[in-house]
Amino acid sequence: MIRKDDFCKKYNISDKSFKEANIEWTELENICNDYVQHRPTLEINLNFLAESLRTALKVHSIKVRLKDPEHLIEKIIRHKREKPSIKINVNNYRSIITDLVGVRALHLFKEDWLDIHNYIINSWELKSKVVANVREGDPQTLIDLFRRKNCVVKKHPFGYRSVHYIIASKPHKEDVIAEIQVRTIFEEGWSEIDHLIRYPYVHDNPILEQFLVMFNRLAGSADEMGSFVKFLSSTLKIKEEEFRQGIANKSKRIEELKKKMGDLKIKPTQRVALTSGLIKLYKSEEKSRRDSILNRMMAAEMVGDAFRKKMGKTKS
């Protein structure tokens, strides 16, 4: 643990702010020392949570971290300033600071959240309500889904989109409180940059703020396009399979008709004419189906062009 003066300077904490926290530096030193001793146990729990979440359906990747000891002390000071009446000491800090152990589950598409949500609530005890952070302007359908799943929906002031779970696991005798965050890969990239620039030690800068808001919108639009591409790909596969099945059925029917015509007592020239007519009908139907698929692909390309123009205006 570094000296108090050096710590306050490093984390931009004034004498007034420290006094407002109403906690002794010696108590903070005790908390820091206790936390350092408990970190090996917490790391075991962290690894267990990560390996378990990796098996969940739709999880793309996992990020893990144990809270840095200095960051823990800074957060306690900040927590005490915001809620002066709360008592934090060496005996209770591990139940009050709920993100000492942090796991982040990342997924590709917004719709994938539900499978991961179900895995979490069926695997661990929830210590509080699930919180879904959304941005102003997010689709109402997504917000309604969060509410149907008993999530507390909050509009984050900086536009962070993620779902937070405070859970308890028990690798040993004592419960370990941990935080699980679930978000898309696009949101992860945006939030990492935003966090690095803004939180929690740098004062707001109006120029940076404007660019971060634009970046946030781009991340949200990327999520929307990801969902659209997934839907488009699925739709095209279904239509292509319907097309192939239709062609196979038509071919089978033509062969059956050709066989029946062969059994008819008609002149060879009539038989050739009937067969030729059937083949023309078959090719006409095939062309019509292919044109239909092509039109759908062109419509999708037009949507993509409109999105790129919109992004160009956003950048300007």
Residue 195 has a pLDDT of 62
Q: 264 falls in which pLDDT band (50, 70, 90)?
A: low
- Host H or E run for residue 166: strand 162-169
d(CA 35, CA 28): 10
Least confident range of 38-52, 114-128, 266-280: 266-280
Q: 155 falls in which pLDDT band (50, 70, 90)?
A: confident
Mean pLDDT, to the nearest integer, of 165-185?
A: 88
The separation between the first and the last C-alpha atoms of the chain, rounded to the nearest angstrom, is 47
The angle subtended at Cα 47 by Cα 43 and Cα 53, nearest 5°, is: 140
Is the pTM for the entire model greater than 0.75? no
d(CA 1, CA 261): 95
Two structure tokens written together for 183: 């978000």
d(CA 5, CA 14): 10
pLDDT of residue 254 exceeding 60: yes
- The answer to whether the Cα torsion of 47, 53, 55, 58 is positive or negative is negative
